[in-house]
């Protein structure tokens, strides 16, 4: 590392040229894999997936905590995954009104959402699998029907983890409040913020790692898998705050879209999140091929070979 820094200082022009060439090759890689188009497909399928998950969430939480528990859990989960903007809070208020209507027919909607979830599972997981297989150059080892069953199983596991998280969040928040209240007043806000941020990072890490580890046809090597997971978590966390600032300070979706501004904001954020996941995978694979695994370069990635 120190040697590379010294070489860069001695030859700044050459360093700039190498960086430019690196970015050029990385951009060509994105174009060759149609990364931006793959991200849009994943984002669309995520939006389809959210509806049945929301209905199942309403049904299960109603059975365990009652109507007030539903509203609190929904608020906690939404604020965990979406930027804390005015549109997000408008969405929470809108969902709170709709939940009151859904509670009356929760059982019927739960059955319908369960069937929808199984049907949509193959679409969402398949879109992730296709993208990651393309990025990491992975081949299919089994017939397609086995992957369809795997998709259904993975989506059920993913849904279970999301529901489990929605149940745990209220208890964790109570623990955080208890720790904060028992701490000196000067550290109360800092401890509460630090613990909440840590919870958010750990949750995001487990969710993203689940995608990189179990969704592709073959196991992704450990180094690019960990690198892509950590990069995704950090980029999404930073992007949440940047996007929240952009929505609240720069853009004015409400002026053009009116009451549909919240839908537009969510759609854009879901696309950004999907793109971050794929860009992190592309970066992890690119560095792995050129730095961590130079001795095992395949013909498919020779054109991307560039010292880093």
Model confidence at 92: pLDDT above 70: yes
Q: Report d(CA 282, CA 274) in Å as an integer.
A: 13
Nearest to 288 by CA among 233, 235, 226: 226
- What is the Cα Rg of the chain in Å? 22
Model confidence at 106: pLDDT above 60: no
State residue 302's pLDDT score.
42
Residue 279 lies in a domain: yes
State residue 226's pLDDT score.
94
Which residue segment(s) compose the domain that 97 sits in?
37-304
Give the pLDDT band of residue 188 (cuts 50, 70, 90).
low
User: Each residue of 180-209: b (16+ CB within 10 Å) or e?
Assistant: beeeeeeeeeebbeebbeebbeebbbebbb
Q: How many CA atoms lie within 13 A of 269 on its CB side?
A: 26
Residue 193 lies in a domain: yes
Model confidence at 300: pLDDT above 50: no
State residue 307's pLDDT score.
43
Model confidence at 45: pLDDT above 70: yes
Residue 28 lies in a domain: no
| DSSP secondary structure letters along 213-257 | HHSSSSPPPHHHHHHHHHHHHHHHHHHHHHHHHIIIII--HHHHH
Give the pLDDT band of residue 180 (cuts 50, 70, 90).
low
| Cβ–Cβ < 8 Å for 107, 89 | no
Cα–Cα distances in angstroms (integers) from residue 207 to residues 157, 215, 227, in the given order? 11, 12, 14
Residue 17 lies in a domain: no
Which pLDDT tens digit goes with each residue over 20-35? 888 888 899 999 999 9
Q: Report d(CA 233, CA 193) in Å as an integer.
A: 18
Q: Report which of residues 162 and 256 the model is more confident about.
A: 162
Residue 273 lies in a domain: yes
State residue 155's pLDDT score.
78
Structure tokens at 83: 């930027």
| Cβ–Cβ < 8 Å for 271, 39 | yes
Q: Report which of residues 78 and 299 the model is more confident about.
A: 78
Q: Report d(CA 86, CA 202) in Å as an integer.
A: 26
State residue 12's pLDDT score.
75
Residue 222 lies in a domain: yes
Tokens 């000067």, located at residue: 186
Model confidence at 232: pLDDT above 60: yes
Q: What's the start-to-end Cα distance of the chain, in Å? A: 11
Q: Share the mean pLDDT of the chain.
A: 76
Provide mean pLDDT across the span 167-182: 68
| Cβ–Cβ < 8 Å for 136, 212 | no
In the chain, what percentage of residues exceed pLDDT 70? 60
Residue 29 lies in a domain: no
State residue 66's pLDDT score.
59
Within 10 Å of residue 86's Cβ, how many Cβ atoms? 15
Count of domains for the chain: 1
């Amino acid at each position: 590392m120190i040697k590379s820094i010294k070489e860069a200082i001695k030859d700044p022009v050459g360093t700039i040229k190498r960086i430019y060439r690196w970015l050029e090759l990385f951009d060509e890689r994105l174009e060759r894999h149609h990364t931006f188009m793959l991200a849009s497909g994943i984002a669309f399928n995520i939006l389809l997936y959210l509806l049945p998950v929301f209905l199942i969430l309403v049904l299960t939480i109603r059975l365990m905590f009652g109507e007030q528990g539903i509203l609190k859990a929904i608020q906690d989960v939404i604020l965990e995954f979406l930027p804390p903007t005015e549109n997000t809070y408008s969405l929470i208020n809108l969902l709170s009104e709709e939940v009151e209507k859904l509670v009356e027919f929760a059982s019927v909607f739960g059955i319908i959402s369960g069937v929808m979830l199984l049907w949509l599972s193959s679409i969402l997981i398949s879109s992730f699998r296709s993208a990651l297989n393309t990025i990491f150059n992975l081949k299919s080892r089994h017939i397609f029907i086995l992957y369809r069953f795997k998709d259904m199983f993975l989506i059920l596991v993913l849904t279970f983890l999301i529901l489990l998280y929605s149940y745990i969040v209220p208890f964790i928040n109570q623990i955080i409040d208890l720790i904060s209240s028992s701490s000196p007043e000067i550290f109360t806000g800092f401890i509460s913020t630090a613990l909440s941020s840590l919870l958010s990072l750990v949750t995001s890490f487990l969710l993203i790692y689940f995608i990189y580890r179990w969704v592709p046809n073959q196991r992704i090597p450990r180094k690019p898998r960990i690198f892509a997971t950590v990069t995704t978590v950090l980029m999404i966390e930073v992007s949440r705050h940047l996007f929240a600032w952009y929505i609240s300070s720069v853009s004015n979706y409400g002026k053009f879209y009116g009451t549909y501004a919240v839908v537009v904001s969510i759609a854009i954020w879901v696309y950004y999140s999907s793109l971050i996941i794929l860009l992190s995978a592309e970066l992890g694979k690119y560095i792995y091929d050129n730095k961590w695994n130079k001795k095992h370069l395949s013909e498919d990635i020779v054109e991307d070979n560039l010292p880093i």
